[in-house]
Amino acid sequence: MKAPASIPSFFDVTVWAWQAEVCKAYPSKGRGVRMVGRLKQDRWADPEGKNHSKVQVIAEHVESKPRFKNKPEDQEHDPEQEDDPFRETEPAPVEAAAAL
């Protein structure tokens, strides 16, 4: 049995406008995506009276993450990632965070 972290998860995602066109035009299996949006839960009962629930992502912003190969030295460099506000950075010092 696979470890929980290695089991893929699949979610229905709703994307609108030009971002939907981009998502449709550039699908790539194995490429990670980053989304900002909200979760929507639908609940219903089937004809037999059994309750069902489904959570979907309503995406407001979608971007693809660079594809990395197995070895760190083989990783592709994505210059756009340098200006990416979502990339991992050092946490703010406690004093600076307290001032916010």
Indicate which CATH number applies to the domain containing 50.
2.40.50
- Nearest Cα residue to 22 out of 65, 67, 63, 71: 63
Rounded mean pLDDT, 16-31: 79
Domain count for the chain: 1
Averaged pLDDT of the chain: 73
Whole-model pTM? Answer: 0.51
Cα-trace Rg, the chain: 19
14 vs 84: which has the higher pLDDT: 14
- How far apart CA 45 and CA 41 sit, in angstroms, is 14
Q: Pick the residue with more confidence: 55 or 97?
A: 55
Residue 59 belongs to what domain range? Answer: 4-65+73-99
Q: What is the mean pLDDT of residues 28-50?
A: 89
